[in-house]
Amino acid sequence: MKPMPTSTPKSTTVLSREEVAKIYRRPLLELVFEAAQIHRAHHENYDVQCSSLLNIKSGSCPEDCTYCSQSAHNDTSLESEPLMELDAVVRAAKNAQKNGADRFCMGAAWRGVADNKEFDQVIDMVKEVKSLGLETCATLGLMNEEQAHKLKEAGLDYYNHNLDTSRDYYDKVITTRTYDDRLDTLSAVRAAGLKTCCGGILGLGESEDDRINLLHELHSLETVPESVPINALVPIEGTPLETTEPLAWDQMVRCVATARILMPQSKVRLSAGRKSMTDEGQTLCFLAGANSIFLGDKLLTTDNATVTDDTQLFDKLGLKPIVSACETTFTV
């Protein structure tokens, strides 16, 4: 077994934006080949971490994200639901663990964390999920350092807060918070000793230059994220992006491969949008260094590949899900 790093230090050399662009635009097979070599130097070749994502509070979010069914600004069919009860979250975590997940993520449709009873309930959720032997992650919106410390003390391992897209394209996607708001939350999370889960969403109408700029931004953070989710837009009826054309498959592969080269020790998570990808497209992403997926039919509110589909693909490729401390197995 290769020793896994306890943190993800910044590379001694931060590449320029132009250097990142040259990597991204290499001939695709050459790019994937280099990414595969780097992946194998830092990770077990066939291991894939399987995560589960639970929407613990849905709908009525005040943010105006153009891609999101949970935004109060978008006229979608999603019904608003209150924060889940602790027992229901624990049952969902146990079920995810039974089905092969060793990482459990909890997401709430909030603009940010408030110091109230609901945040105390989330703290209890983190404690209980952590006690099951699962790696824990939460995405709750904007947060300050004191709140991040409370989550750390409760046993949270990762905080997810994506940049979504490039700085230049950001105001085409969301106007109710700034790019620097996101960076400030990442700084607070890092100061509290939490690991960061930070990536973006592809196919929002951005250009290839914007995708390159996003990857360069992630690579240039003071400490690169230990977890880098690469999402493809899932168009949702009632959102401004409902008629957006699907992202070209090679762009997904290029982003995964470039992320692996720029952030060799990070988990690169092939996240939303897998349901619309072919087995062949996912295979190239795994070859290029993706080593984490989300299990389950839903990712928050969007459709995801089924466990059956994932089991069959893993069998074809010889991939092995990382088994949790409780010795669960990857089953249908």
Please report the domains of the chain, with CATH numbers, ordered by start residue: 17-321 (3.20.20.70)
> Which three-class secondary structure state does DSSP give residue 238?
coil
Report the pLDDT value the prediction gives residue 219, as an integer from 0 to 100: 97
The number of helices, as runs of H, and strands, as runs of E, in the chain is 10, 12
* Per-residue pLDDT reduced to its tens digit, 24-45: 999 999 999 999 999 999 998 8
Report the pLDDT value the prediction gives residue 13, as an integer from 0 to 100: 84
List the beta strands (DSSP E) in 133-187.
Answer: 135-139, 158-160
Q: Is 133 left (phi over 0), alpha (psi -120 to 50) or beta?
A: left
User: Residue 292's closest CA among 52, 93, 89, 10?
Assistant: 52
The rounded distance, in Å, linking the Cα atoms of 52 and 11 is: 30
pLDDT range class, residue 303, cuts 50, 70, 90? low
Tell me what the mean pLDDT of segment 91-109 comes to: 90
pLDDT range class, residue 201, cuts 50, 70, 90? very high
User: Residue 256's closest CA among 220, 283, 224?
Assistant: 283
Asked if residue 16 has pLDDT above 50, the reply is yes
CB 56 within 8 A of CB 106: yes
Asked if residue 306 has pLDDT above 60, the reply is yes
Round the average pLDDT of the chain to a whole number and report it. 88
With both helix axes pointing from N to C terminus, report the angle between 86-98 and 117-131 in degrees, rounded to the nearest 10: 30
Asked if residue 293 has pLDDT above 80, the reply is yes
Burial of 272 from C-beta contacts in 10 A (0-12 / 13-18 / 19+): buried
> Which three-class secondary structure state does DSSP give residue 233?
coil
Report the pLDDT value the prediction gives residue 323, as an integer from 0 to 100: 56
Report the pLDDT value the prediction gives residue 225, as an integer from 0 to 100: 97
* Per-residue pLDDT reduced to its tens digit, 137-185: 999 999 999 999 999 999 999 999 999 999 999 999 999 999 999 999 9
| Better-predicted residue by pLDDT, 330 or 46 | 46
Residues tagged active-site: 61, 65, 68, 105, 137, 197, 269
